[in-house]
Structure formats: structure tokens, C-alpha cells
Amino acid sequence: MTKSVVFGGGCFWCTEAVFAMLKGVSKVEPGYAGGSVENPSYEKVSGGDTGHAEVIRVTYDPAVISYEDLLTVFFGSHDPTTPNRQGADTGEQYRSIILYETDEEKKAAEKMIKEVDTSLKDGTRVVTQLIPLGKFFPAEEYHQEYFKKNPSATYCQLVIEPKIEKVRKRFAELLKQ
């Protein structure tokens, strides 16, 4: 039996590529969530006034990879201390966000946020938004598997590839063979 979880950690091209590498993950779908506009488009979300974030819906097998492991990779693969920003990507659509569906997911995320906060020694704090999942809106087709389809694109080479390498080194035991 599979489960799904929705995370936003900046550009969904980056987060999709990271989570697609994990064992137990069968599907990663970029989309939009966390806002109030029905049927948002990339152009509307990029405008910054829909309230939506660029997110991914991760479908996974909890017998192979735990929700806690997914949270660990989530927090370890982006900067959860920068409000409305990841690297050069700025705006509320790039905020760090976890959209939970159950009380167990909420509690596990709260626990992980507390652990990450405690580990920070530079005075920063986790700003990851933790809210119930309302509705997930899949992104347009050209955003699906973007890194896989466009590995030589400049953004993929300069931003996504270094992030993937970092995840490969840091979370080798969680990667697909």
C-alpha cells in the first residue's frame, strides 16, 4: 500500500529530482498547493498572488521508506530557514512548506522541526510552514520530470545537479540502486 505526502522546498524542478532518487518512492509530481486560487497556473503562481507554493506530491511505500526519512531528506536538501526563498528563487511560491493529511504526519513534522531548530547554532530558525493539505493541483505537463527531460539546461546544470550531488553524498543509504 502506498501513501503520499506534499512538500515544498523551493523550485519544484529541484525537489522533484531529489525525491525521485529515493528508494520506495514510486512517483513524484510537481504541482501547486497551500493557496486559495482554484486551478492555478504556473504563470499565476509565479506572479506571487495566489498564495500557492511550488510543491511536489511524493507517492511512496512506507514499508520501504518512512515518512520520517522523507522529512529528513526534505530538511536536508533545502534551506528551511529562509522565508520565501531558496537560493536565487524568491517569492512566496518558493517557501518551505509541509502540507500534512493526518495528525501523525503533523506530529512527526513538528518533532522534526523542533529537532532541526535545536541543531541550528547560527541563530537562525526553521520557517517551514506546516498546514493541512487542502487541494493539490498538478503542474502543467512541461514541468513533469523537468530535470530528467532537460539535463543540459543551464538551470539544471547550475542549480539542480549540485543539489542532487549533495543528496547523493548525504543520503546514500536512502537512494535507489
pLDDT single digits (tens) 96-138: 999 999 999 999 999 999 999 999 999 999 999 999 999 999 9
73 confidence band (pLDDT: 50, 70, 90): very high
- What's the whole-number mean pLDDT along residues 13-41? 97
Number of structural domains in the chain: 1
**Average confidence score pLDDT of the chain:** 96
Which residue of the set 8, 9, 10, 11 is catalytic?
A: 11
pTM of the entire predicted model: 0.96
pLDDT at residue 177 in the model? 87
- What's the whole-number mean pLDDT along residues 37-61? 96
CATH of the domain at 162: 3.30.1060.10
Cell of 71: 522529512
Cβ atoms of 3 and 62 within 8 Å: the answer is yes
**By 3-state DSSP, what share of the chain in percent is helix, strand and coil, each rounded to 5?**
40, 25, 35
Residue 31 belongs to domain spanning: 3-174
The answer to whether residue 11 is catalytic is yes
- Its sign, for the CA torsion 30, 98, 167, 108, is negative
- Biggest CA pair distance of the chain: 41
Cell of 119: 541543531
